[in-house]
Structure formats: structure tokens, C-alpha cells
């Protein structure tokens, strides 16, 4: 069935990499590596449907509480991804911009430098954007905005929704039409609280490395069955 109503902006929580690795007797490193490669494929599937903005939760502030070896392994995968010429070539081919969003002070400098290099090389593209949420937490984003506003010494009476959004770390991310979360978990865990207030939610039982283009199609069909009223 054709997709008539394509969401302009989607957000993804690619959950289940560790469980997938364990079920296949592989290391967590292997699970996350496959998950990153799957996401690159995912961005190209989205391009084929005409989706212009993809926000992926790559690493939350809460994830820092995991074993340090796991955190370091995941950061190493992201750094390798950023230095992979094949992946960069695919971004150029698809005219896709990479934008890294989060508390960058929490990230290793070598990782940040590698990702910023990709950001700089793709910043001229406007057709589609991949927002990589790294060292990101929804509550932290709201708190950051509140503190930033307070430092401006503006009167509270001047504050409105659009003005406040400018202080968010995620201010460049548009309102999300559709959120997809894999692995059967049915919660947002603080993902983009400002942008997801009227998002449609799709929860897939598939672990992220098993997610396919057909599963994305099913999510978009599900989205097309929704009637979005926005409180009206």
C-alpha cells in the first residue's frame, strides 16, 4: 500500500542492540556496530519516502551510568563511524546534513572532533538532516533552556513558547510527527519533550538490528491511519 501522508520529521529510539547481541552470542560491541550500520540504512529508506528530518537518540545522559567499558565501546563505534569515508560518501550522495545535539561537554574530545568534522563537511545540505542526540536528556534540555533564559535577565512576561524554544539545545529540531521505538518498549524515556507533545507513537517489537525497510513501511502505514487533531 502506498504511503500518502509522509511525516516530515521523525524521531527514532533504536532500542534492543544489547539484547540482540546477547541472543546471538555476540559481544555488545558487535550489537552496537550492527545497530549503527542499520541506522545508516534507515536514513536511506527514509530518504526514499521523502522524510526530511530524522532525530535519533544515540546516547542519553542516563546511559553514562552503564559500565564504563560499554560506554567507551559505544563512543569508539561512533568515532569510527565519523571517520568512515564510505559513510561520509553516502551522506554526500544523499545530500544529508549531520547535526550533533546534546551536552557536548560530556563527550570525549576525540569523538567530538571527529563528529564535528562530519558536521562541517555536510552543513551545506538543506534537503534532509540527521540529528544525532548524543549526551542528551529531555529534562536536561528544558533545564538548560531555563538557565539560559535566566541569564539573559529578560522579563518573564516576555516569555512565550516560540521564544523559549530558542534556548533549547534542540531548538533546530522541528516538531516531531512520528516517533518510532523498537524492542517492544512502550515509553519515550524523555525523548524531545518539547517537540513530541503531539507526536504519533509507533512501537515495534523488533530489536533494532532486526528492523527492516518493511518495518518502516508498517510504521508509516500506522501513521497514515491516525487522525491528528492537535487538541482540536
CATH, residue 34: 3.40.1180.10
> What percent of the chain has a predicted confidence (pLDDT) above 90?
89
Type and span of the H or E element at 100: strand 96-101
* Structural domains counted in the chain: 1
pLDDT at residue 153, as a whole number? 66
- What's the average model confidence in pLDDT over 164-180? 96
pTM of this structure? 0.95
- What's the average model confidence in pLDDT over 114-137? 97
pLDDT at residue 50, as a whole number? 96
* Residue 162 domain flag: no
Catalytic hit among 15, 140, 141, 177 = 15
Three-state secondary structure call for residue 174: coil
Cell reading at 55:
532525530
pLDDT at residue 150, as a whole number? 86
**Cβ-contact 140, 103 below 8 angstroms:** yes
* Residue 81 domain flag: yes
* Residue 82 domain flag: yes
Q: How far apart are CA 97 and CA 91, in angstroms?
A: 7
The mean predicted confidence, pLDDT, of the chain is 94
Neighbours of 148 (CB within 10 A): 14
How far are the Cα atoms of 59, 147, 212, 215 from residue 209, in angstroms, in the given order? 16, 38, 8, 12
* Residue 25 domain flag: yes
Catalytic hit among 37, 63, 103, 117 = 63
| pLDDT of 70 strictly over 80 | yes
Type and span of the H or E element at 202: strand 200-203
Q: How far apart are CA 174 and CA 9, in angstroms?
A: 7
To the query of whether residue 63 is one of the catalytic residues in this protein, the response is yes
To the query of whether residue 117 is one of the catalytic residues in this protein, the response is no
Three-state secondary structure call for residue 30: helix
- Give the domain extent around 47: 9-138+174-224
| pLDDT of 13 strictly over 70 | yes
Q: How far apart are CA 101 and CA 129, in angstroms?
A: 12
- What's the average model confidence in pLDDT over 152-165? 81
* Residue 202 domain flag: yes
Q: How far apart are CA 175 and CA 5, in angstroms?
A: 16
Task: Name which of 166, 162, 175 is nearest 230 in CA terms.
Answer: 175
DSSP-derived secondary structure letter, 173: S
| pLDDT of 30 strictly over 80 | yes
- What's the average model confidence in pLDDT over 212-222? 97
**Cβ-contact 219, 203 below 8 angstroms:** no
| pLDDT of 169 strictly over 90 | yes
Question: For the chain, what is the total number of helices (H) and then of strands (E)?
Answer: 8, 6
Cell reading at 177:
510527527
Dihedral, 78, 10, 181, 136 alpha carbons, nearest 10: 50
| pLDDT of 162 strictly over 70 | yes
* Residue 76 domain flag: yes
* Residue 158 domain flag: no
Categorize the per-residue pLDDT at 155 as very low, low, confident or very high, splitting at 50, 70 and 90.
confident
Categorize the per-residue pLDDT at 6 as very low, low, confident or very high, splitting at 50, 70 and 90.
very high
* Residue 192 domain flag: yes
Amino acid at each position: 500500500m502506498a504511503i500518502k501522508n509522509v511525516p516530515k520529521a521523525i524521531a527514532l529510539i533504536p532500542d534492543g542492540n544489547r539484547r540482540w547481541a546477547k541472543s546471538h552470542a555476540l559481544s555488545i560491541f558487535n550489537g552496537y556496530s550492527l545497530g549503527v550500520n542499520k541506522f545508516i540504512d534507515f536514513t536511506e529508506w527514509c530518504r526514499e519516502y521523502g522524510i526530511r528530518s530524522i532525530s535519533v537518540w544515540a546516547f542519553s545522559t542516563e546511559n553514562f551510568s552503564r559500565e564504563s567499558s560499554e560506554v567507551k565501546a559505544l563512543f569508539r563505534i561512533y568515532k569510527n563511524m565519523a571517520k568512515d569515508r564510505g559513510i561520509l560518501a553516502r551522506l554526500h550522495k544523499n545530500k544529508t546534513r549531520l547535526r550533533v545535539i546534546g551536552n557536548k561537554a560530556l563527550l570525549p574530545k576525540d569523538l567530538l572532533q571527529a563528529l564535528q568534522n562530519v558536521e562541517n563537511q555536510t552543513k551545506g545540505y538543506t534537503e534532509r538532516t540527521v540529528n544525532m542526540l548524543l549526551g542528551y536528556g529531555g529534562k536536561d534540555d528544558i533545564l538548560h533552556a531555563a538557565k539560559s533564559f535566566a541569564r539573559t535577565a529578560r522579563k518573564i512576561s516576555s516569555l512565550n513558547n516560540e521564544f523559549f524554544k530558542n534556548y533549547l539545545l534542540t531548538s533546530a529540531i522541528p516538531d516531531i510527527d512520528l516517533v518510532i521505538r523498537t524492542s517492544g518498549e512502550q515509553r519515550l524515556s524523555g525523548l524531545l519533550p518539547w517537540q513530541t507533545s503531539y507526536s504519533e507513537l509507533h512501537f515495534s517489537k523488533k530489536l533494532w538490528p532486526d528492523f527492516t525497510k518493511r518495518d518502516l513501511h508498517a510504521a508509516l502505514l500506522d501513521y497514515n491511519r491516525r487522525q491528528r487533531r492537535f487538541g482540536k
